[in-house]
Amino acid sequence: MKKVRNLQKLIPLLPLLLLAILFIFLPIISMIQKSFLSPETGAFTLNNYKNIFTDSIYQVATSKSQQSAHLDSFFGYRAARGIYRCKSSP
């Protein structure tokens, strides 16, 4: 009986789960599938991944993205810590 009550509490979350599947998981799965296809022929290929790891433009873009992520994380942490300390001090 207790399990039924717990399951009944989860029923309102079903629309959220369906929306997450529809708008998050299905596009990601589609992108992964299409990344293995040739843009010209639509046949299976690994050339897309070869280009990412060998072409310098992708290496520069990846490096800049990592630098940005590290800086954003550092300053975001510092800002959040400062806000927390201001709120918690009397």
Give φ, ψ of 38 to 5 degrees: -75, 135
Taking only the tens place, the pLDDT of each residue in 26-52 is 999 999 999 999 999 999 999 999 999
CB 81 within 8 A of CB 89: no
Closest listed residue to residue 32, CA positions, set 21, 41, 44, 16: 44
Mean pLDDT for the chain overall: 91
Report whether pLDDT(88) > 80. no
What is the pLDDT averaged over residues 19-30?
95
| pLDDT score for 1 | 63
Tokens of 62: 């990846």
Give φ, ψ of 37 to 5 degrees: -110, 145
